[in-house]
Amino acid sequence: MKNYPIVFLLLFIAHISLSQSIEPSPENISRHIRKLASDKMKGRGTGSRENDKASEYVKKQFKKYGLQPKGTHGFYQPFTAKVRRVTVSDSIWQTRNVIGFLDNGAAYTIIIGAHFDHLGLGRQGSSKAEKPKGQIHNGADDNASGVAGLLELARYFSKNDVKESCNFLFIAFGAEELGLLGSRHFVNNPTIPLDKVNFMSNMDMIGRYDPNRGVGIGGFGTSEEWPAVFKDVTGKIKFFTDRAGSGGSDHGSFYAKQIPVLFFHTGGHDDYHKPTDDPEKIDTEAEAGILAVQIRLIENAMKFPKLTFTEVK
Ligand SMILES: [Zn+2]
């Protein structure tokens, strides 16, 4: 009996160290980005073998965190990516979304997403390099950084020993660079009812934090509850809000279905859509800080039963 206080103290210390190891870490972020944006992945162009390999990597992590498969073929939701303006055969590619579900037995679900595709070997048309063809467009910031964030949030919410008041659906989207094709395919063929979606949080390019600018958080005008959710949230990193609910990335597909959104983005830079968007230029320390802010926002948002959608005028 007299050992009780010591046992209690040890449990307390164990709890503290456990909750610390759960927080998003620069080491994990770096590992994911170095894997996805390595030359071996050849830029993860839609339709390539390496694009498939990148989606397999995401699936492997989802499995490791104990998420349930929520695609149409296990974790995968395959679709055909067609680029509308051209109809030659090589403008039609097979790719997929990767979808994992954390079931907390709740009424509503929060969707967290990031696209995993990039420009491959520069033949897709949106490269900003002078001679893009044949060059590996690694896409470390765009958007291995967002996928690393997605994986760290999936790990956090599935391993934190808290049963949240919402379920979570984690989606790595395919074919964003060809015009938000993966997210549009998902909202038109959802694997959970869209009217049960609380809100969607998207990460696209969160690896180039500039302390003078701060990280931009879009979607602030898409729900009247966001101001209350953001109130008193601070972090090691600086952020500013932007009201827009669409533009630039996959959250726009959800906004178009009247779902409140958030969009995390550290801004444009000289390596944008060029072969020089490389892993060593990523600020993983700051990215971990951005993810910590996102977690606080999500936790605050869950104090409301369901966010109401507002159209941004
Ligand atoms: Zn992107």
Domains, the chain, ranges and CATH? 25-301 (3.40.630.10)
Instruction: Of 271, 273, 270, give the one whose Cα is nearest residue 127.
Output: 273
- The two beta strands, 197-203 and 109-115, are parallel
Using the mean position of ligand 1's atoms as its centre, give its distance from the Cα of residue 66 in Å.
27
Could you give the angle at the alpha carbon of 180 between the alpha carbons of 155 and 191, nearest 5°?
Answer: 55
Using the mean position of ligand 1's atoms as its centre, give its distance from the Cα of residue 143 in Å.
5
pLDDT at 87: 55
Whole-angstrom Cα distance, residue 128 to residue 138? 13
Phi, psi of 108 (to 5 degrees): -120, 155
pLDDT, tens digit, for every residue of 259-299? Answer: 999 999 999 999 999 999 999 999 999 999 999 999 999 99
Using the mean position of ligand 1's atoms as its centre, give its distance from the Cα of residue 20 in Å.
30
pLDDT at 302: 98
- Could you tell me the pTM of the whole model? 0.93
Using the mean position of ligand 1's atoms as its centre, give its distance from the Cα of residue 23 in Å.
24
* 46 pLDDT above the threshold of 80: yes
Whole-angstrom Cα distance, residue 209 to residue 71? 33
Residue 44 identity = R
pLDDT, tens digit, for every residue of 119-128? Answer: 999 988 899 9
Using the mean position of ligand 1's atoms as its centre, give its distance from the Cα of residue 160 in Å.
29
Long-range contacts, stretch 223-228, CB < 8 angstroms, 24+ apart: 223/199, 223/260, 223/307, 223/308, 223/309, 223/310, 224/308, 224/310, 225/260, 225/301, 225/304, 225/307, 225/308, 226/260, 226/307, 228/300, 228/304
Using the mean position of ligand 1's atoms as its centre, give its distance from the Cα of residue 259 in Å.
20
Q: Dump strand ranges (E) for 103-149.
A: 109-115
Average per-residue pLDDT for the chain: 94
Whole-angstrom Cα distance, residue 284 to residue 29? 6
In this prediction, residue 82 has a pLDDT band, given cuts at 50, 70 and 90, of confident
pLDDT at 92: 86
pLDDT, tens digit, for every residue of 69-81? Answer: 999 999 999 999 9
* 231 pLDDT above the threshold of 60: yes
| Counts for the chain of helices (H) and strands (E), in that order | 8, 9
CA 24 vs CA 100, 149, 210, 267: distances in Å: 18, 8, 19, 21
